[in-house]
Amino acid sequence: MRWARFLSNYGMLAVLLLLAGFFSVVTLRDQHPSGAAAARGLLAGPAGARLQSAQGTILIAVRGASHADQAFAGELHDRLGAQGVRVRSARGDPRSVRAALEELADDGTGPPAAIAAAHAYAPLVRSVLAEEEAWRHVPVLTPPAYRWPTFLLPENLFNVANQIAVIAILAIGMTMVIITGGIDLSVGSLIALSAVLVAGLVGHWGGAAAGTGAMLAAGAGAVLLCGIVGLFSGAMITGFRVPPFIATLGMMQVASGLAYILSQGKPIYRLPESFVTLGRGADPLVGIPYAVLLMLALYALAHLVMSRTPLGRYVYAVGGNPEAARLAGVRVKGVLLLVYALNSMLAGLGGVVMASQLKSGAPTYGLMYELYVIAAVVVGGTSLSGGEGRIFGTLIGAFIIAVIQNGMNLTNVESYTQKVVLGFVILGAVLLDRLRHGAWFWRRRPRRRPPEPRGSDVIR
Amino acid sequence: MRVKRDQPLLSVTGVDKAFPGVQALCGATLAVRAGEIHALVGENGAGKSTLIKIVSGALAPDCGTLACRGRVCALRCPGDATRAGIATIHQEFNLVASLSVRENVFLGRERRRGAWIDRAAERRATRRQLAELEAPIDPEAPVRTLDVAQQQLVEIARALLARARLLIMDEPTAALTPREVTRLFALLRDLRARGHGILFVSHRLDEVLALADRVSVMRDGVTLGTWPRAALTREQLIERMVGRPLDQEFPKAPAPRGAVLLETRALSGPGVHGVTLQARAGEVLGIAGLVGAGRTELVRLLFGAERATAGEIRLAGRPLRLRAPRDAIRRGLCLLTEDRQQQGLLLKLSVRENFALPNLAHWTRAGWIDRRAEGAALARYVARLRIRLAGWEEPAAHLSGGNQQKLLVARWLEQDARVLIFDEPTRGIDVGAKHEMYLLLNELAARGKAIVMISSELPEVLGMSDRVLVMRGGRIAGEVTEVAAATQEQLLSMAVHG
């Protein structure tokens, strides 16, 4: 019994960890560090002593002006300088290395004691050295490689989270809708409508020159307009008792059509550079993408709402048994309206994030996303019959889908095969759900001594 | 396939069945003969349903033997039971509402002519069988259009056409009117005379004593024994079911009457016509009547679950305007519905959530639920009402009927309800829990609540009410103020003739 409860609460988390473990093992590769960490690794590694006690000049060769290259050169420069070692830097393409070497030869210093370069740049540096007899013996030192799974690199993990952020944000609302016993097929189209709306509004309020205020207003406008679409679906469902499947199937067409009409069928590109901050930016401290932070904040809020507020309780109650909820004084129709509106607003927010990620708004966005969103909810353990489900289960479900896709990309599984695998994963998740709801029930061996019957009506 | 009278049709020996956490059956034994009506009684949770499921092939026993007509047989699926001549008619019928009577009767056993269904032959056979049961039902009518009694006859016809020798009937009278019950009993006696065996499972002891030839009593998964009906009195039967002597079936304790709390004037609505009534604090107002007399419809109007079309409702002298149940709840009126599973509880939700649902405002601070205060309130009622449960987070579905009812009472007491309307408060709960329910009614009345109690069990209405209204056709057909002197016949004649 206890195991069953544990499995039902954390079973999918175990699946997620197993998947992560599996992809970690199969993507275990030689990793080459970059940035300041690479400089420290180089100094701490076997070549460190040679660099720090060098008699001649040390040349630091970096390819470009990227953040990582700058950090590598800067860190190495500072550390060696502090040791009293003479250091020169060559920044740019291999020609800058040649220029630096010639300069050293011209001012009479002669060839450097060693050249420090990143792993990827070393072959080019070596080819420069091969050009002159005098330089052939100059060693090129690179930071030591280490074994680490590509899957577990922070960049990759942030990438996984960033790619699933839109689906995961939508899945919050979908979880609530499914807990009420409904379904919403219109969310994929709402992504497109919202992306077109936000891009169009920004275009209207200044285009490429729009300011932050205009962009925030455009985002809020898009989310609110999507909320009105959701209210309309909710009104059809509560007021006219149209089945949610049908009502939202209709709204799916309506929203998609509106997106095409508003954008005249073309993507909207005229957006300011800063428009991508939400979708591509990351916090300066750890490097977590803003979209992921937004997603995590929404999940935390949704979890609290569902477990600690009357609204959350009512959502479960309405899904469990609408008539019993009504007779207990719950405003069933009001709850349903609110849930559909919230769900559509979250879909609108997902559309804004997507427009920001892609720096454009097009009516083709979000195609089939409703199915991925529903899959995330179902994989996360929410039952389509309503009345039960957990918000964090959905987050786990979304991550399972994202990890499988990312892992298969890393291991070069082609996309058609990925679809087949993903389909079976969804079926497997539902099967697991079925198993925990009943199948284990019959396999129990009988107990010899009857336990105290619990909650029996017998008076003792 | 002639079976001799008194030959055992089915014998069950030493059957065990365990579910996680519960030993449902522990050496159950049962023998049903041809040509007898055999009653199986026991409290809820005694193991009757499990035993029925095992002999109808829906569950496999952990150990023990089943013998059909003297030969050991294994019933692995319901089909095996049908082939062994056993047909089970559950309380919830197994009929497809959208299909016709004929299609239901032959569902899964269609008469064929080549690849096609021989509809003419099916229709003839159905009509013949229904005529034999004296049931004038059109074989082509959709089952949806039939009433409960007719659907039951369709089930019986289906069983007999499948050549069942043993009919298992689980609570067959629960949804029938007295007249329909009389007809069903005549039919069952007729089947007995033709050599069928009938296993009759019922909570209604009067019916058991009126109908059965032998009675088997189960308690805690064990068959206590089988007795000829003549050897049992009602009291003995209850004692064996409950496992202790029963002091008094209806422990009515009158409470001091207070002011009029609930009052209606010429109230009309769907199924209710011009009802005027009054309920005082400290009073239990019983409402009797046949099924369909408008009793449930009346209390749904009082609770705002349906809209009234005319008349008015007053609560403690002030008019009560109801647009939805929550308006009634806010004013201190509550309804404990007849069907706890479908209309009262949220079975998937926990005990805590069920208790808290209408009361969340009591513990909500700045939009957030204070779970500690909520738990403390629940703990008070669990202790006061002696609700037995494994934990607050347990789904309400796991509670027994009596404890589910208490949980709902706790919910409304926390709402500080002044008027409690109980629709069939003891339906589906067993003898022991009924007794506790009655004590609870007394306690509520003593605390100055007004209680309206609908009950189809006339002894209960007479035993527990201070005053009884009898309804017929959506109207009040009569009132009994001297309950102690009234008889069941008196109530029944009001209910039938007005």
- CATH code of B482's domain: 3.40.50.300
Q: For B30, phi and psi rounded to 5 degrees? A: -160, 140
Contact A320 B348 (CB under 8 A): yes
The CA distances from residue B143 to B118, B138, B150, B196, B380, in Å, are 20, 10, 9, 26, 48
For residue B283, pLDDT beyond 70: yes
How would residue A350 be classed by pLDDT, with cut points 50, 70 and 90?
very high
Please give the pLDDT value at position B3.
Answer: 52
- Mean pLDDT score, B156-171: 92
Among the three residues B215, B242, B269, which one is the final residue of a domain in this structure?
B242
| Weakest-pLDDT range from A145-149, B243-247, B325-329 | B243-247
Is there a domain that residue B252 lies in? no
Q: Tell me the average pLDDT of chain B.
A: 88
Same-domain pairing of B229 and B299: no
Q: How far apart are CA B474 and CA B195, in angstroms?
A: 43
Please give the pLDDT value at position A84.
Answer: 81
Same-domain pairing of B296 and B377: yes
- Structure confidence by residue, pLDDT tens digits, B216-229: 999 888 898 999 99
How would residue A449 be classed by pLDDT, with cut points 50, 70 and 90?
very low
Q: How far apart are CA A141 and CA A112, in angstroms?
A: 12
- Mean pLDDT score, A152-177: 94
Instruction: Point out the residue among B43, B325, B342 whose CB comes nearest to the CB of A458.
Output: B43
Residue B44, chain A, CB below 8 Å: the answer is yes
Contact B243, A458 (CB under 8 A): yes
Residue B349, chain A, CB below 8 Å: the answer is yes
Other CB atoms within a 10 A radius of the CB of residue B250 amount to: 15
pTM of the predicted protein model: 0.78
For residue A441, pLDDT beyond 60: no
For residue B81, pLDDT beyond 50: yes
Please give the pLDDT value at position B238.
Answer: 83
Residues 6+ apart with CB under 8 A from A204: none
Residue B183, chain A, CB below 8 Å: the answer is no
Which one-letter DSSP state was computed for residue A268? B
Please give the pLDDT value at position A306.
Answer: 93
Q: Where are the alpha helices (DSSP H) in A240-308?
A: 244-263, 277-280, 290-308
Contact A341, A225 (CB under 8 A): no
Contact A329 B357 (CB under 8 A): yes
Is there a domain that residue B251 lies in? no
Please give the pLDDT value at position B92.
Answer: 78
Same-domain pairing of B290 and B226: no
Torsion from C-alpha of B152, B154, B155, B156, nearest 10 degrees: 90
Among the three residues B242, B277, B302, which one is the final residue of a domain in this structure?
B242
Give the residue, A7 or B302, on which the prediction is more confident.
B302
Which one-letter DSSP state was computed for residue B341? I
Same-domain pairing of B16 and B109: yes
CA distance B310 to chain A (A): 22
Residue B58: closest CA among B78, B74, B72, B73: B78
Residue B399, chain A, CB below 8 Å: the answer is yes
Contact A119, A61 (CB under 8 A): no
Same-domain pairing of B226 and B273: no
- Mean pLDDT score, A197-218: 90
If phi > 0 it is left, if psi is from -120 to 50 it is alpha, else beta; for residue A35 that is left
For residue B291, pLDDT beyond 50: yes
How would residue A447 be classed by pLDDT, with cut points 50, 70 and 90?
very low
| Weakest-pLDDT range from A153-157, A181-185, A221-225, B172-176 | B172-176
Cβ contacts (< 8 Å) between A456 and chain B: which residues? 45, 388, 400
Please give the pLDDT value at position B487.
Answer: 86
Same-domain pairing of B224 and B93: yes
Contact B399 A455 (CB under 8 A): yes
How would residue A458 be classed by pLDDT, with cut points 50, 70 and 90?
very low
Is there a domain that residue B255 lies in? no
Contact A447 B303 (CB under 8 A): no
Same-domain pairing of B271 and B401: yes
For residue B12, pLDDT beyond 60: yes
| Weakest-pLDDT range from A402-416, B186-200, B337-351 | B337-351
- Structure confidence by residue, pLDDT tens digits, A15-37: 899 999 999 999 998 888 888 88
Is there a domain that residue B116 lies in? yes
Q: Read off the amino acid at residue A280.
A: R
Residue-range definition of the domain harbouring residue B385: 260-497
Please give the pLDDT value at position A22.
Answer: 94
- Can you read off the two tokens belonging to residue B486? 């009234």
For residue B277, pLDDT beyond 70: yes
Is there a domain that residue B346 lies in? yes
For residue A375, pLDDT beyond 80: yes
For residue B8, pLDDT beyond 70: yes
- Mean pLDDT score, A357-368: 94
Contact B104, B96 (CB under 8 A): yes
Mode of pairing for the β-strands spanning B166-170 and B197-201: parallel
Residue of A nearest to B341 (CA): A324
For residue B400, pLDDT beyond 80: no
Among the three residues B242, B269, B297, which one is the final residue of a domain in this structure?
B242
Please give the pLDDT value at position A349.
Answer: 97
State which of A373-377, A447-451, B291-295, B493-497 shows the largest mean pLDDT: A373-377
Is there a domain that residue B174 lies in? yes
Please give the pLDDT value at position B47.
Answer: 83
- Mean pLDDT score, B226-247: 82
For residue A448, pLDDT beyond 60: no
Residue B350, chain A, CB below 8 Å: the answer is no
Cβ contacts (< 8 Å) between B349 and chain A: which residues? 316-317, 320, 387
Cβ contacts (< 8 Å) between A458 and chain B: which residues? 43, 45, 220, 242-243, 432
- Structure confidence by residue, pLDDT tens digits, A278-327: 988 888 888 899 999 999 999 999 999 998 899 999 999 999 889 899 99
Same-domain pairing of B87 and B183: yes
Please give the pLDDT value at position B498.
Answer: 63
Q: Where do the domains of chain A lie, and which CATH numbers do they carry? A: 35-144 (3.40.50.2300), 151-443 (1.10.3470)
Contact B45 A457 (CB under 8 A): yes
Q: Tell me the average pLDDT of chain A.
A: 87
How would residue A165 be classed by pLDDT, with cut points 50, 70 and 90?
very high
Cβ contacts (< 8 Å) between A459 and chain B: which residues? 242, 244, 432-433, 435-436
Mutate to test the interface with A, among B241, B248, B306, B348 (most CBs of A within 10 A): B348
Please give the pLDDT value at position A138.
Answer: 85
Contact A346, A173 (CB under 8 A): yes
Residue B303, chain A, CB below 8 Å: the answer is yes
Same-domain pairing of B316 and B350: yes
Cβ contacts (< 8 Å) between B243 and chain A: which residues? 458
Is there a domain that residue B153 lies in? yes
- Can you read off the two tokens belonging to residue B71? 């030969």
* Total of domains in chain B: 2
For residue B324, pLDDT beyond 80: yes
Same-domain pairing of B159 and B65: yes
How would residue A457 be classed by pLDDT, with cut points 50, 70 and 90?
very low
Please give the pLDDT value at position B246.
Answer: 62
Cβ contacts (< 8 Å) between A320 and chain B: which residues? 346-349
Cβ contacts (< 8 Å) between A331 and chain B: which residues? 324, 326
Is there a domain that residue B62 lies in? yes
Same-domain pairing of B289 and B364: yes
Q: Helix count (H) and strand count (E) of chain B?
A: 16, 24
> Is this complex scored with an ipTM above 0.85?
no
How would residue A381 be classed by pLDDT, with cut points 50, 70 and 90?
confident
Same-domain pairing of B175 and B315: no
Please give the pLDDT value at position B247.
Answer: 65
